[in-house]
Amino acid sequence: MSFIIDKQTLNDLEIPGKKGKRSVQSLFNETKTKGGAEQITELFQYPLDSAIAIKKRLDSFKFFSELDEQFPINVVNLDLAEQYLLNTDERTLLNREKDSFLQGIKDLIQPNSQNQLLILAIKAILIIGKELDVFLKKIEKRALTSVFGETFLELESLRDIIPVCENPKWKQLTEFDRYFRFEKREHLLRLLTLIYSLDVNMTVPRVAKIQKFVFPTVSDQSGSVLEIQGLRHPHLKGAITNDIIAGCDENLIFLTGVNMAGKSTFMKSFGIAVFLAHLGFPVPASRMTFSVFDGLLTTINLSDNLSVGHSHFYAEVVRVRKMAEFIQKGKKMVIIVDELFRGTNVKDAFDATVAIASAFSKKDTSVFMISTHIIEAGKVLGESHPTISFVFLPTIMKEGRPVYTYRLLKGISSDRHGMLIVENEGILELLNNNHRKI
């Protein structure tokens, strides 16, 4: 069973690498090779739901972080080699007749550009073998005793397929051509895949250092655990950091605060950290310990579905039902809902928020984060639900204007500054002014 996540969640958290738009994936798009970039994209499509798999990937990244070596292979040669190996037309094989005097004169008059490209690619593979050999010898002792040991041995075995030859003659080139493209093609393609993986393993720790991300720790506890210190949004420079703890004892985080206090950004930061942790990637925090969950679902940017006549409220209900179905099936989920039931009237929203939050709080194998404007719901829930953690993002008034601290505090917000903001903007003054300027 794969990790449960959907398009709505990926878009809410801005995970996919959409061209021209900021995304979480774009932070890691720093690979040297196109093949490495493709592997990053694939990894982001398949979060892991196995503690063993997550630990293995984290250990691999940590190994290369400590290794601190540069990517050893010339990227142009890798591109040449890949395109070359895709050509399996035997009619394009280099011809030994090149040795003949007549063929030599012919090539002097009209050089064969196809042959020149083939020769470049063959030489590129020879150079790749040499560069890889130097690198493998350099890291051998450290690699063999690490999580990378198995891959190291496979790389070494595949590297041995490539002959050592500094200046190949024409006859050797023709032999290498058939050998590379037809006899050992699959082996060499596998070698390229491992080299691209090497690129990924070197890129992710490098990005972590630049972005000041940390490698999370997978908890061995049987119950649900989510502890994050110094959490921040990865795209906000100089962002205020916050700590958050959730688990069996307090499995529902009830978040309040006025508009613009930073609730949505905080919830996205939390979701991004959970997602990256389940990729086995570094996270935007100073420390993180987590148990492995079965899935992550969010409702942060939910819109009406006018094409099928669904209102915003109905879309919310359908979304929460989907979440409830996974929980009912026994799945350990991380659920994030921003402004629960904002698409209906205050009374219904109050009743529904209390009912749903109350039901969620009893599912202690999952973790929930719910935000709302309806602070009265929080007060009711606080009377009889010890597994709910109440936190808020405060607003400080300075000279009649709101200042947002973005610093998470314990409790329920009592801030009510909406009317003051309306007055500060002079809307009522405009509407009550009987004089019209022409």
Domain boundaries, the chain: 31-211, 217-432
**Torsion angle of C-alpha atoms 330, 332, 334, 338, degrees rounded to 10:** 10
- Average the pLDDT over 278-294 and give the result: 98
CB 273 within 8 Å of CB 19: no
DSSP 243: E
List the Cα angle 59/221/361 in 5-degree steps: 120
Tell me the CATH number for domain 217-432: 3.40.50.300
Residue type, 57: R
Residue 334: φ, ψ to 5° = -110, 120
- Residue 389, SS3? strand
Q: What pLDDT does residue 105 have?
A: 55
Q: Is the pLDDT of residue 222 over 70?
A: yes
> Tell me: the pLDDT tens digits for 299-332?
997 654 444 445 778 888 899 999 999 999 999 9
**In this structure, what DSSP letter does residue 183 have?**
I
Q: In the predicted model, what is the mean pLDDT of residues 344-354?
A: 88
Give the up-direction half-sphere exposure of residue 386: CA atoms within 13 A in the CB hemisphere: 2
**Structure confidence at residue 261 (pLDDT):** 86
Q: Which amino acid is at 19?
A: K
What is the maximal distance between C-alpha atoms in the chain?
101
User: What is the CB neighbour count within 10 angstroms for residue 269?
Assistant: 26
Q: What is the DSSP code (8-state) at residue 148?
A: T
Residue 54: band (very low, low, confident or very high) from pLDDT cuts 50, 70, 90: very high
Paired strand residues for 283: 214
CB atoms within 10 A of CB 62: 16
Task: Report, as an integer, the average pLDDT of 175-185.
Answer: 97
Q: 24 near 207, Cβ under 8 Å?
A: no
- Bigger pLDDT: 92 or 20? 92
Question: What is the pLDDT, as a whole number, of residue 415?
Answer: 72
pLDDT (mean) for 236-249: 94
CATH number attached to the domain at 31-211: 1.10.1420
pLDDT score of 113 more than 60: yes
pLDDT of residue 97: 61
* Interatomic CA distance for residues 316 and 401, integer angstroms: 33
Residue 398 has pLDDT above 80, yes or no: yes
Distance CA 89, CA 126 (A): 21
CA 16, 21, 22, 28 torsion: positive or negative? positive
Looking at per-residue confidence, does 146 or 313 come out higher? 146
- Encoded tokens for 7: 């398009």
Count of residues in the chain: 438
**Mean model confidence pLDDT for the chain:** 90
Distance CA 345, CA 349 (A): 6
pLDDT single digits (tens) 371-397: 998 889 998 998 889 999 999 999 888
**Per-residue pLDDT at 400:** 74
